[in-house]
Amino acid sequence: MNRHRLKLSISNAVLRILAPILSCGLLLQLRRMIMRILPFMPLQSQVRNIVYLSWLVDVEQVRQRYPDPVTLWEKDGKTIFTILTYQHQHFGFAFLGKLRQLMPSPLQSNWRFYLDDSQPKTVIFEQVIVDQALYVMGGRLASDVMPAQYASTFQHQRDEQVIHTEMSVDDHYSLKSDVQIKGEKQLPAAWQCLFSTWEEAVQFLVDDAGSVSTDTSCCNYFITGPSIVTTIWGGP
């Protein structure tokens, strides 16, 4: 089963009805043809409560998920899996100007791996998760890069110095975490063979120039090993 196909085990009735249309191959080809003609319309949003959760993963566990020509970044047999979660502020088309303030502010979580250094820093999405049906439909109708899934449960909120996150799409894609915001910057021992300093690791994790998605089939794998947690901005 294609892991990016819109999952039918969803609580939103509108998405459940529209799922066959949003997953239609003919519609996908038509949309690609139209997008080649239309000018690119950039989206804009201010974001807050940005949290990166990153794990070291044995690259052989996940390599088969991304066959050639996709090549994952790796070092000493490890690759990095990151879950980036944040709160949008009025996410919409940039040309709307001040009218963008009327747009909703969805929660979004990007589950991604990093590609090798043969091209500018690029990530590949394992999954994109949002909490509003409008952006699930918009992402799927407008882009190959953001085939978003709808999370029936999605919380991402700051309470003083703790950011609580909880989301669930299905049994395969769910997360619960509590991240404490503090000034300590210590690189876990397992990461020290990959990066010389905390700052070098953070720069690698957050600095990406582009993103891609893929239509490869789904396989089971496990995330294990030490993690690194980065809070970029807690917001007001």
- List pLDDT tens digits, range 145-180: 667 888 989 999 999 889 999 999 888 899 999 998
Give the pLDDT of residue 93: 85
For the domain covering 13-233, report its CATH number.
2.40.400
Q: pTM score, two decimals?
A: 0.80
In one letter, which amino acid is 194?
A: L
- List pLDDT tens digits, range 17-55: 776 666 667 777 787 787 778 787 788 888 899 999 999
Confirm if 116 and 105 have CB atoms less than 8 A apart.
no
Per-residue confidence band for 83, with pLDDT thresholds at 50, 70 and 90: very high
Assigned token pair, 187: 């690189």
Nearest to 43 by CA among 114, 143, 173, 137: 143
Least confident of 7-11, 147-151, 230-234: 230-234
Coil, strand or helix at 135: helix
Rounded to whole angstroms, how far apart are CA atoms 21 and 18? 5
In this predicted model, which residue has the larger pLDDT, 116 or 31? 116
Give the pLDDT of residue 128: 92
Cα-Cα-Cα-Cα dihedral sign, residues 121, 72, 218, 155: negative
Nearest to 173 by CA among 231, 232, 130: 130
Does the pLDDT at position 229 exceed 80?
no
Confirm if 128 and 108 have CB atoms less than 8 A apart.
yes
Cβ-Cβ contacts under 8 Å for 145 (sequence gap 6 or more): 125, 211, 212, 213
- List pLDDT tens digits, range 175-227: 999 998 888 788 888 899 899 999 999 889 887 655 454 443 333 223 333 44
Does the pLDDT at position 81 exceed 60?
yes
